[in-house]
Amino acid sequence: MNDTIAAISTAVGVGAISIVRISGDEALSIVNKIFDRDVYSFKSNTINYGHIIEDNKVIDEVLLSVFLAPKTYTKEDIIEINSHGGISVTNKILELLLTNGARLAEPGEFTKRAFLNGRIDLVEAESVMDLIDAKTESARKMAINGVYGKLSEKINKLRNKALDIVSNIEVNIDYPEYEDIEVMTIDDIKSYSKELSNEIEELLKTSKTGKLIKEGINTVILGRPNVGKSSLLNRLLDEEKAIVTDIPGTTRDIVEGSIRLNGVLINFLDTAGVRKTTNTVEKIGVEKSLSLLDKADLVLLVLNNNEELTDEDKELLEKTKNKKRIIVVNKIDLDNKLQLDIPYIKVSAENNDIDALLDEIKNLFNLEEINNGDLTYISNAREISLLKQAKESLNNLLKGLEEDIPIDMLEIDIRNIIDYLGQITGESYDNELIDKLFSNFCLGK
**What residue spans define the domains of the chain?**
5-120, 125-212+380-426, 216-372
Contact 219, 267 (CB under 8 A): yes
Burial 267-302 (b: 16+ CB within 10 A, else e): bbbbbbbbbebeeeebeebbeebeebbeebbbbbbb
Residue 262 has pLDDT above 90, yes or no: no
pLDDT value for 166: 80
* 67 vs 376, more confident: 67
Homologous superfamily of the 5-120 domain (CATH) = Probable tRNA modification gtpase trme; domain 1 (3.30.1360.120)
Which residues, including other chains, have CB under 8 Å from residue 268's CB and lie 6 or more apart? Answer: 219, 221, 233, 236, 237, 256, 257, 258, 259
Burial of 139 (0-12, 13-18, 19+ CB in 10 A): buried
Which of 39-53, 111-125, 327-341, 395-409 is predicted least confidently?
395-409
pLDDT value for 370: 75
Residue 182 has pLDDT above 50, yes or no: no
pLDDT band at 81 (very low <50, low <70, confident <90, very high): very high
Average pLDDT along the chain: 86
216-372 shares the fold of 5-120:
no
Among 52-61, 315-324, 404-413, top mean pLDDT goes to 52-61
CA distances from 114 to 111, 120, 130, 218, 287 (A): 5, 6, 16, 34, 47
Which of 70-79, 288-297, 371-380 is predicted least confidently?
288-297
Q: How far apart are CA 120 and CA 357, in angstroms?
A: 43
pLDDT value for 367: 85
Q: Which CATH architecture does the domain made up of 216-372 adopt?
A: 3-Layer(aba) Sandwich (3.40)
Q: What is the pLDDT of residues 387-427, one digit of tens each?
A: 999 999 999 988 988 888 877 787 888 889 999 999 999 98
Q: Which CATH code, of 3.40.50.2300, 1.20.120.430, 3.50.50.60, 3.30.1380.10, is assigned to 125-212+380-426?
A: 1.20.120.430
Burial of 127 (0-12, 13-18, 19+ CB in 10 A): buried
Q: What is the pLDDT of residues 96-130, one digit of tens each?
A: 999 999 999 999 999 999 999 999 999 999 999 99
Which of 175-179, 375-379, 393-397 is predicted least confidently?
175-179
Residue 247 has pLDDT above 90, yes or no: no
Residue spans of alpha helices (H) in 310-380:
311-319, 355-364, 367-372
What is the arithmetic mean of pLDDT over 378-392?
Answer: 93
DSSP assignment letter at 300 = E
Q: What is the pLDDT of residues 130-150, one digit of tens each?
A: 998 888 888 998 999 999 999
Q: CB atoms < 10 A from the CB of 327, how many?
A: 20
pLDDT value for 88: 93
What is the arithmetic mean of pLDDT over 244-256?
Answer: 51
